[in-house]
Amino acid sequence: MKILQNTGEPIYLQISRQLKEDILTGKLKQGEYLPSIRSLAKDLKISVITTMKAYEQLEAEGLVTGVQGKGFYVNAQDSQMLQEQHLRKVEQSLGEAIAAARIAGMTGQELTEMLKTLLRYEEEI
């Protein structure tokens, strides 16, 4: 897990975002326990409170469940809900790309061509 100090994004959000991504992509499976709060805090050299806040956020989103004395484990994920979350993420990212393209003075056609080029590049990898 990578934590960046200079991004302006709070550390607990970086942790929860990365764990959420691991859960939604299936890297962390249903029933699997997350690292203990203390061990993750120690590994990342951050406060236990910061780690706890990240885990609580994931629990509030329904992605994990906390068990007293055992830690937090990954909940079962509804595949339809997962697909919807991925689609929302794509829409958000494309919206940000459109806004950046407008600032750069790109036309819709130029942006479309750039996307096509990037898709072809990804297929080659």
| Structural domain spans, the chain | 11-74, 79-124
Using the predicted structure, report yes or no on whether residue 11 has a pLDDT greater than 80. yes
Using the predicted structure, report yes or no on whether residue 33 has a pLDDT greater than 70. yes
Contact 29, 17 (CB under 8 A): no
Q: Give 66's pLDDT tier (boundaries 50, 70, 90).
A: very high
Amino acid 7: pLDDT: 83
Domain 11-74 coded CATH 3.40.50.300: no
80-112 pLDDT, tens per residue?
Answer: 777 787 788 899 999 999 999 999 999 999 999
Amino acid 4: pLDDT: 83
Contact 16, 60 (CB under 8 A): no
- Which residues fall within 8 angstroms of residue 2, CB to CB, at 6 or more apart? 14, 18
The mean predicted confidence, pLDDT, of the chain is: 90
